[in-house]
Structure 1
């Protein structure tokens, strides 16, 4: 069982609420999303593991068990080419669950006409393996879902 933490503070919502079919239809995998608090903050690692992919707007952490979790900060934020994001770690770094990874500001994302919603996806997870989804208000580092 893997406990996946909320990478940002805000309101936990289902992936269906994400305005991008790649996430809302579960094409990347099951998980949850967070409608972030509209204030500058840090995105933290959802699990303990190694940063295997790191972009300013998204990162993947893989645990010792081989399970990977994708955190995507906003929708279409790749178009920002890193503007408005500050990396706190490097690709290949070992991180602890709850450790800050990226500094960002959801208000800036929204001001640019993009959704700041944050999908958190259990990569390559089988259907039905993600359970106990958080509902409502969460803080960064709170339990978001369980991956059986």
Structure 2
């Protein structure tokens, strides 16, 4: 059954292969798309409904009832910030609805620290890029909560 994955933040859609991080660009974590966010404080939302399987200040994974795990990674190399620039609104293990606020993301603070604020959104362990149908147009603006891609899993 296809899984519709929503944009967790607004911004400009970026093809995953164009993300300046080989782990994401080469689909090592999974396949999907990315969003270059506006340079303002944003609230990242759940891209799918399910359970908040993993919650870190800079990233989270939502597991759907169909066992599709969707990772949202707020910025590149942001794990090194140990939570600085991020405010979580839920607890790991909480049920979430698609579009529900998860983390407030201080994009200007991340940029000021010299890090790339781009937000990769991937289906965990998806090895086949062909199973991801990106519905947002490359370089086009996308709103938080708008359909980003469909995972055929």
TM-score range, shorter chain: over 0.9
Q: Which runs of 5+ in 1 are unaligned?
A: none
Q: Which runs of 5+ in 2 are unaligned?
A: none
Q: TM-score, normalised by structure 2?
A: 0.94
Q: CA deviation at 1:37?
A: 1.0
Partner of 2:86: 85
Report if the CA contact (8 A) 1:45-1:95 is conserved: yes
Aligned-partner SS, 2:17:
helix
Partner of 1:137: 141
Q: TM-score, normalised by structure 1?
A: 0.97
Aligned-partner SS, 1:30:
strand
1:120 aligns with 2:124: no
Structure 1 stretches of 4+ with a deviation exceeding 3 A read none
Aligned-partner SS, 2:91:
coil
| Cα distance in 2, alignment partners of residues 126 and 83 from structure 1 | 32
The number of aligned residues is 148
Aligned-pair Cα RMSD in Å: 0.8
1:111 aligns with 2:115: no
| Cα distance in 2, alignment partners of residues 140 and 38 from structure 1 | 14
